[in-house]
């Protein structure tokens, strides 16, 4: 089944039998529908919050997940309502003559049971 017309970089299972896919600059939420032994995905909604490609998704705890993108931004989401709870490191536009973002998020990981996460970035300056 084709999930999206763009490359999917990450998939994350969240509450209530849903999957979040990181596809280019947006997150796509799918419902997992099961009938007997068959399952299929149904589009629930698209979450276009990042300015550049989303490169990392991580579960923070049972109620929260975070997304990080090449523009250096990190967004913390409610895993039930998909409302943005907090944004970090958001910049308005490219910086410098080379039109780059200062940092890009490459990977995030969470510490189980603690409700925090760590980030690996690359500097473009």
User: pLDDT of 40-80, one tens digit each?
Assistant: 999 999 998 888 889 899 998 889 999 998 888 889 999 99
52 within a domain of the structure (yes/no): yes
Residue 112: which domain range?
8-123
Whether the pLDDT of residue 125 is over 80: the answer is no
Both tokens of residue 74? 């990190």
Both tokens of residue 118? 């760590």
CATH code, 12: 2.130.10.10
1 within a domain of the structure (yes/no): no
3 within a domain of the structure (yes/no): no
Enter the pTM of the model: 0.80
Both tokens of residue 73? 């931004």
20 within a domain of the structure (yes/no): yes
Q: Which residues are within 8 A (CB) of 100 and not within 5 positions of it... i.e. 6 or more apart?
A: 94, 124, 125
pLDDT, position 12: 94
Better-predicted residue by pLDDT, 75 or 90: 75
What total number of domains does the chain contain? 1
2 within a domain of the structure (yes/no): no
18 pairs with which residues across the strands? 14, 31
Residue 82 C-beta-side C-alpha neighbours within 13 Å: 19
């Amino acid at each position: 089944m084709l999930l999206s017309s763009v490359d999917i970089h990450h998939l994350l299972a969240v509450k209530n039998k849903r999957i979040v896919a990181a596809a280019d600059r947006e997150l796509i939420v799918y419902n997992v529908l099961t009938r007997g032994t068959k399952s299929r995905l149904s589009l629930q909604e698209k979450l276009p919050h990042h300015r550049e490609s989303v490169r990392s998704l991580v579960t923070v705890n049972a109620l929260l997940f975070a997304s990080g993108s090449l523009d250096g931004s990190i967004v913390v989401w409610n895993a039930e309502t998909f409302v943005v709870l907090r944004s970090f490191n958001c910049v308005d536009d490219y910086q410098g003559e080379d039109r780059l973002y200062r940092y890009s998020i490459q990977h995030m990981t969470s510490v189980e049971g603690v409700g925090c996460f760590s980030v690996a970035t690359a500097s473009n300056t």
